[in-house]
Structure 1
Amino acid sequence: MSGLELAAAAVLGSQLLDAKYHVKDDVLLIRKVVASAVPFLINCYRGRASYWYYFEKTVFKYPNNLAVSFPRPLKDGPSAKIDENGYAIYDDQFHLEQYTYKELYDMILRLSYILKFDYGVTAEQTIAVDCMNKPLFIILWFALWNIGAVPAFLNFNTKDKPLVHCLKIANVSQVFIDPDCQEPIKDTESLINEELPNVKLHYMNEVELLKVLSDKTRPKHRAPDHTRRPEDSDHSCCALIYTSGTTGFPKAGIMSWRKAFMAAAFFGYIMKIKKNSNILTAMPLYHSTAAMLGVCPALLSGACVSVSQKFSATTFWTQAKLSGATHIQYVGEVCRYLLNSKPHPDQRAHNVTIAYGNGLRRDIWPDFKERFHIQGIGEFYASTESPIATTNLQYGEFGIGACRKYGALINLITSLQQRLVKMDPEDDNEIYRDPKTGLAILADRNEPGELLMKILNAKNSEQTFQGYYGNKKATNSKIVHDVFKKGDAWFRSGDLLKMDDDGLLYFVDRLGDTFRWKSENVSASEVENELAGTKVVNQSVVVGVRVPNHEGRAGFAVIDPKDEYLDTTKHEEVLAKIYDHVNHSLPKYAVPQFIKISREIQASHNHKVPKNQFKNLKLPKGELGKDLIYWLNGDRYEELTEDSWLKIMSGASKL
């Protein structure tokens, strides 16, 4: 063999090895991590941990780049036009609002002046942001970062006692409220005034405020660096994002500066977000997916973030086309809604090449790419509170359905930080321990196990896992000790994943009392507490059940009624009382979709109700086809018949 042939063979062999082990990609990612992390840590040491400094650097580097794009829905706009092919055209239903980096920066500084001098906002305060997806959210958020205050992103669906709880645990002093989502606050205002009299509620006039912020004659305030919490370290709190848990009311997950930076720099790099990119998100900005994985990567790289005020399967691709999106964000439910929507010319008249998010089911993954002409899927696994995320930017055929796909080198590194452990066969919420050593055992390949993430400093865990603000008990419940050796500490994800023979990770299911519905985490305990408040229930069990052709799990409540309501003739009254109560006290996504009235709830020897017996309930009539189950049809519960079940599965009736 000649020297040229040997060289060619060597190149081919290298390419085949790289295709299998992805060495080149791993090396580039490691180089990116080192090149970004070292300057970040130096900046933290210099008292500049805040993301604000990175945003300013982008502003000064790309002042004329488009920063924010917003297809604002026209409230009184024209109805959709029908073209010659019978397709509805939605372009005229939106007004495209756009701001360059310089314009956005100036608006942020003008709002900073108002917040500081008119409302007295300081770096010592926690300020709640109650706002829909729109530029106003981002302007308010970054104005608070400029001043040094901690923004708390309220889920604008939250109301009543859970809302008061959110304000109380975070020690919120002021709330700024978008007029488009003010109803839950208005409905709860008397309770807030009663229990939290020092909390100030400010209902913003968005139209007038945007005029003021666009007025170049208005004063601006760029806070001096020494007032912007220079004592913050990389693990200090930069924002509070509320998450449902297994203990009832929402918890305030602490987002650290390190997580915001890692999301912006490393996640953005993996998802190929560059200065000419445009990320469209219809995910709520009060969640970490849109805020930390959408806005932060965009505004670090000089890209544009396009915000959709509310997800609509009908107009989503029109908004992608109008805004010029190159990337879109999703959760699994969104992908199925889009696939179930009617074909439309705009579904391919866009510039989107990458869709990224979490929960895209393996069975519809290829169909989603094909129908909407998407080249790459960026599936990830993370939670608001988790210290580490996993990613899979998938092209071609390999890696479909996985939430982690790296090469051999990074897999070796992550195996030291992320591990799947066997679960106790008697209680799938508990980690199995070896009877001899007392230590956990790694799950086998293709065996579901709980994902654990290593806490580097077990004695000072908050440096790795910041947990929940003002809730030490909930924070500690997410940490498990003495797992693989005495003295170690690991973060419990609360989720089951499995690893295949290629080292790919796949999401399997959630553990415990939390399930996901309508893109939101639902706390079964919170729902059970509210059902107890109806005064017609002795006890209840709430679980999430799978419904064909629907993402996540729908809320199913098994109700043990008080004696006077046990007779079936009283069921209608019971169900009406339940609906009236939970519709007022719970977000819409947490209201049970199915209810069974029964006396079959029995506690085990440890006084806990074993819920597994209810998680696989067969709809619509139970295992023997004789159960009487009710479903929420609009604003009332009615019997779940075979006919209504078929309509639910086909999409003719909506849950």
Structure 2
Amino acid sequence: MELFKATAVYTLYAWASRRMRNETIFKSLDKLVQKHPQKICFYYESEKWTYSHVQTMSFQVANFFQAQGYRKGDVVGLAMSNKPEMVCIVLGLSRRVCSLYLKIGVITALINCNLKGDSLEHCISVAKCKSVIFGSEMRNAFQEVWSSRQQSDKPQTDVTLYELDRYLDGLYPLSQKLSLPVGKSEASLGTFTTNDFTSCLRTTSSKPTVCRGNGIGSRDQEPHFYDTLVYIFTSGTTGMPKPARNSHSRQYQYQLNLFVMISGGYFIMDLQKEQNNIIYCPLPIYHAFAWTGIVCSLIYGTPLVIVPKFSASKFWSDIHYYKATICLYMGELCRFIVNQPPQPELERNHSLRIMMGAGVKPEVWEAFVKRFNVKKFIEGYGSTEGNCTLVNMEGKIGAAGYIPCWIRPIYSLVVIKIDEVSGEIIRDENTGMAIQCKEGEPGELVGKIVDCFPTTRYEGYTNKEASEKKVARNLFRQGDRYFRSGDIMTIDCFGYIYFKDRIGDTYRWKGENVSTAEVEGLILKLNNMRSTIVYGVKVPGTEGRAGMAAISDPDGTLDLNVVSKGIDKGLPSYARPIFVRCVRSEQGLSMTGNTSVHTTYLESRNFMITNSNNPSFSSITNRII
């Protein structure tokens, strides 16, 4: 406990020191380059990216977009599968070198590379992207979106497209892959044209640009500790994906310093004193938790393995190949590894010491530790946009986190009573204040918002109205503000907190949050606007909830083939409903008082595989895993 307290004090001191120095993420990179420029920053397959190479590419990115007239506050979308170039682009767009040198401060919107159609178009529009850099693997998805834009009657904002396969100049020049020429495209793409980002960078200086005149070097252009570094999209509790603000400050505090606390101090000593640590990151870079590893690499000089795409069958081979000691995970990832056939030579005699992440089920946790001989599990809890960050410092199996009594006055997280059907906060009839749950009683986790303190800041979404919807006021005293997590939790007598379920209009499948509104919107287009409700259902032997769509079909004319093909084309695999219920009675899609569909009855019916020969129930896909 004393070590935990010391670590908490250290992290707060480190955060405050960086704020005083206005130390942004790229400044931390520049410091590492001065100390050991040729040290490995990223491993990617057989490639080795040094800190010097990462800095050089970030200079090229900054110089190019500065020459194109980009300024602080502009937004550039980034949509591609995992590769080191993504981090270099983020750093370059946000970069500033010194008082006389280039200052750009552009925000990067990290877009899910699995998105298609309306979902992809929505993310580009809602983030107000001035341009988008996308990977060649997403060319077809962008072609489809741009074709729809050209056919649409709605006014469209001009968005410049840059396409990037790989940029390996200075790393492995002989193996450099060639992309499309600037402004040209293959004949099969019709009128869809993109700018080749590789060619753009090759014609750009790799040295920091000295600012002369034109106001670019003015003080208001200076990237600041509290400035937004990236937008990370989250489905939230309702509606379409929303871009959440993530500042340099938040990257330091929430995704690094609080997570060093979860090991009770040993983790930070490992990073600073031991030279043999390597972090293995199989998570997509557009995911907030992946930035825990990225920021560790850019601050402490700990090499990071960026995995192109997670493979459970290759996991232990990779651990041995890179000699990784720390692995980042989300709950589903651990289950996939446990379900693999035994590999005695690889899965017991390895270098992996720490698994660090969130969302693992207790039974998976126990099986993982026992089978694979991993010494420490560091389980946490948090959200992309919120201030409710929890840590399980003692490795108590099943707990999402721990709040010791001594830290509660400055880090106020509370579980409060809510109506489990409507999600409304239950207030005391006499005082009008919220009611705190007793030990073991389920309720919603909320976190007090105090902007001047690092662990309680709330940066929210780009949309002020959406940000305000996540804030509850006057819970325990007049004028207070609390962030609503949207998650049902319980707390025990020792201060350990346990996750129970999500509330609102999302469910989790294949490790991703799925927005029901997004899926419903697509199905409505496919079924001639029949009344539709999408929700998650429990499937035995799987984690999370599988998607189920209930569609009004009173006359039995719904064409499931059209619906199935449209879902496959328009949604990423994790967002596709597994089941469809054709509802032919009024009871199935009854309305609540506010004209929304009442899901309680449908959810209670689930999919009833064992006792249903009902033709109104169909499985539109056999991809249950």
TM range (shorter): 0.7 to 0.9
Question: 8 Å contact 1:434–1:440 — kept in the other structure?
Answer: yes
Match of 2:113 in 1: 156
Question: 8 Å contact 1:621–1:627 — kept in the other structure?
Answer: no
Structure with greater helix percent:
1
Measured after TM superposition, the shift of residue 577 of structure 1 is: 1.7
Q: Label 1:348 to 1:180 Cα distance change in 2 as closer, same or farther (>3 A).
A: farther
Measured after TM superposition, the shift of residue 218 of structure 1 is: 7.5
Match of 2:419 in 1: 424
Question: 8 Å contact 2:387–2:456 — kept in the other structure?
Answer: no
Match of 1:281 in 2: 281
Match of 1:42 among 8, 17, 20: 20
Amino acid at match of 1:590: A
Match of 1:131 in 2: 80
Encode CA deviations 1:9-65: one digit per residue, 9 max, x unaligned.
xxxxxxxxxxxxx2x12321232133212212312xxxx352221222222233233
Encode CA deviations 1:585-613: one digit per residue, 9 max, x unaligned.
32222111111101321113343322222
Question: 8 Å contact 2:579–2:621 — kept in the other structure?
Answer: no
Please list every run of 5 or more consecutive structure 2 residues that lacks an aligned counterpart in the other structure. Answer: 96-103, 177-197, 212-216
Overall identity of the aligned pairs, in %: 28
Encode CA deviations 1:517-567: one digit per residue, 9 max, x unaligned.
111111112212222112345212211111122111111111112x5xx33
Measured after TM superposition, the shift of residue 278 of structure 1 is: 1.4
SS in 2 for 1:538: coil
Match of 1:222 in 2: 208
* Distance in 2, Cα, partners of 1:40 & 1:527: 42
* Distance in 2, Cα, partners of 1:463 & 1:365: 29
Amino acid at match of 2:87: I
Amino acid at match of 2:83: K
Question: 8 Å contact 2:581–2:618 — kept in the other structure?
Answer: yes
SS in 1 for 2:440: coil
* Distance in 2, Cα, partners of 1:369 & 1:205: 39
Match of 1:550 among 542, 553, 556: 542
Question: 8 Å contact 2:225–2:249 — kept in the other structure?
Answer: yes
Match of 1:525 among 517, 528, 545: 517
* Distance in 2, Cα, partners of 1:518 & 1:303: 29
Amino acid at match of 2:158: N
Question: 8 Å contact 2:25–2:298 — kept in the other structure?
Answer: no
SS in 2 for 1:467: coil
Encode CA deviations 1:432-482: one digit per residue, 9 max, x unaligned.
111111110001111111010111259x9999322111x222111101111
* Distance in 1, Cα, partners of 2:413 & 2:371: 35
Measured after TM superposition, the shift of residue 136 of structure 1 is: 1.5
* Distance in 1, Cα, partners of 2:404 & 2:82: 36
Match of 2:188 in 1: none
* Distance in 2, Cα, partners of 1:177 & 1:376: 37
Does residue 29 of the first structure (1) align with residue 7 of the second (2)? yes
Match of 1:65 in 2: 39
Amino acid at match of 1:441: I
Runs of 4+ residues deviating >6 angstroms? 212-218, 460-463, 622-625
Measured after TM superposition, the shift of residue 623 of structure 1 is: 6.9
Which range is displaced more, 590-599 or 141-150?
A: 141-150
Matched ranges for 1:410-489 at <5 A = 410=407, 412-413=408-409, 417-424=412-419, 427-456=421-450, 464-469=457-462, 471-489=463-481
Does residue 613 of the first structure (1) align with residue 601 of the second (2)? yes
Question: 8 Å contact 1:134–1:309 — kept in the other structure?
Answer: yes
SS in 2 for 1:615: helix
Please list every run of 5 or more consecutive structure 1 residues that lacks an aligned counterpart in the other structure. Answer: 1-21, 72-95, 635-652
Does residue 494 of the first structure (1) align with residue 477 of the second (2)? no
Q: Label 1:139 to 1:547 Cα distance change in 2 as closer, same or farther (>3 A).
A: same
Match of 1:332 in 2: 331
* Distance in 2, Cα, partners of 1:33 & 1:224: 35
* Distance in 1, Cα, partners of 2:223 & 2:118: 32
Which range is displaced more, 263-272 or 97-106?
A: 263-272
Q: TM-score, normalised by structure 1?
A: 0.81
SS in 1 for 2:401: coil
* Distance in 1, Cα, partners of 2:424 & 2:222: 39
Match of 2:59 in 1: 109
Q: Label 1:480 to 1:627 Cα distance change in 2 as closer, same or farther (>3 A).
A: farther
Question: 8 Å contact 1:382–1:388 — kept in the other structure?
Answer: yes
Q: Label 1:621 to 1:30 Cα distance change in 2 as closer, same or farther (>3 A).
A: closer
Question: 8 Å contact 1:246–1:525 — kept in the other structure?
Answer: no
Matched ranges for 1:575-586 at <5 A = 575-586=560-571
Q: Label 1:246 to 1:413 Cα distance change in 2 as closer, same or farther (>3 A).
A: closer
Match of 2:166 in 1: 206
* Distance in 2, Cα, partners of 1:363 & 1:462: 31
* Distance in 2, Cα, partners of 1:28 & 1:386: 25
CA root-mean-square deviation = 2.9
Match of 2:579 in 1: 594
Q: Label 1:486 to 1:151 Cα distance change in 2 as closer, same or farther (>3 A).
A: same
* Distance in 1, Cα, partners of 2:219 & 2:316: 40
Matched ranges for 1:193-342 at <5 A = 196-206=156-166, 211=173, 219-222=205-208, 226=217, 234-262=225-253, 263-268=255-260, 270-271=262-263, 272=267, 274-275=271-272, 276=275, 277-291=277-291, 293-342=292-341
Does residue 631 of the first structure (1) align with residue 619 of the second (2)? yes
Question: How many residue pairs get matched?
Answer: 570
Q: TM-score, normalised by structure 2?
A: 0.85
Question: 8 Å contact 1:112–1:220 — kept in the other structure?
Answer: no
